[in-house]
Structure 1
Amino acid sequence: MDITIHQSYLPQDDPDAALSFWRDTLGFEVRGDVGYNGMRWITVGPVGQPATSIVLHPPAATPGLTDDERRTVAEMMAKGSFASINLATTNVDDTFEAVAASGAEVVQEPIDQPYGVRDCAFRDPAGNMVRIQQVR
């Protein structure tokens, strides 16, 4: 088998703020920005990796959710406990400084984890946990 990760989905409730964080702060390129019925789906990805993307989607567009479930999703997003993603960099300390300087919400400064990874963490504007790990 030849399986790769093509797209991952993260919810966003403010497309302009999401775009600013993912494009301007993290340096991802915009691969798509599609609007429909007052909602926007923004596809971003790391420069030089055209086969891997993140789709920043409006959670209200998720099919099959009840109104109660939509409220629960909104509450979990507000607490930052709904979605997360792990990214990687060759220098987590420099990356941390750059992202923190942008005003992003810092969750964890760079630290050597007991399980062998050096990482840091931020929240994006929708509350998604964004962990950045150092790769060797």
Structure 2
Amino acid sequence: MRIHLSTVFVDDQEKALRFYTDVLGFVRKHDVPVGDDRWLTVVSPEAPDGTELLLEPSGHPAVRPYRTALVRDGIPAASFAVDDVRAEFDRLRGLGVRFTQEPLDMGPVTTAVLDDTCGNLIQIVHGES
């Protein structure tokens, strides 16, 4: 069994697509109109056939309280592996990305948490996971 798809709920799919591709460096995999929304996924350019991230519209009534609680408590909605958290932190901060947690050594891993501008906190991590 493998993880095929994971989801983050986003306020604006087009804005999310720009952030996740232009800023984070993912690439668009699927972009299919579904009514007023889209089936919109991105993947790592290093694994184009790997796990897809669905940029899911946040219209369902349960999404708002769920995301609000996660952000309020500082809990990331997703975690992405990087080769070097400190280097990625510097690169992203240079692009104007806001971090809620600067790089933090946590034993065998280093993490940082960023705001994806679409309603979520995202963790970046390197080291043993």
Task: Please report the RMSD computed on the Cα atoms of aligned residues, expressed in angstroms.
Answer: 2.1
Conservation of the 8 A alpha-carbon contact between 2:113 and 2:122: yes
Q: Which runs of 4+ in 1 moved over 4 A?
A: none
Q: Measure, in 2, the Cα distance between the counterparts of 1:102 and 1:76.
A: 28
**1:60-105 deviation line (CA, Å, top 9, x unaligned):** 2x5xxxxxxx0x5224435635861111111111111111222222
TM normalised by structure 1 equals 0.80
In the other structure, the counterpart of 1:124 is 116
Task: Determine the structure 2 residue equivalent to 1:95.
Answer: 88
Does the aligned pair in 2 maintain the 1:7–1:55 contact within 8 Å? yes
Equivalent position of 2:50 in the other structure: 51
Task: Name structure 1 gaps, 5 residues minimum.
Answer: 63-69
Q: Normalising by structure 2, what TM-score? A: 0.83
The separation in 1 between residues aligned to 2:46 and 2:33, in whole angstroms, is 26
Counterpart in 2 of 1:25? Answer: 23
User: Number of paired residues?
Assistant: 124
Q: Which amino acid aligns with 1:92?
A: V
Tell me how far apart the structure 1 counterparts of residues 89 and 78 of structure 2 sit (CA, whole Å).
16
SS of equivalent to 2:101: strand
Q: 1:104 to 1:119 in 2, by over 3 A?
A: same
CA contact (8 A) 2:43 2:51 kept: yes
1:74 equivalenced with 2:64 (yes/no): yes
* Structure index of larger Rg: 1
Query: Whole-Å Cα distance in 1 between the matches of residues 114 and 90 of structure 2?
Result: 12
Q: By how many angstroms is 1:48 displaced? A: 2.2
Take 1:4 and 1:96, find their aligned partners in 2: how far apart are those partners?
A: 29
Q: Is the 8 A contact 1:5 1:52 kept in 2?
A: yes
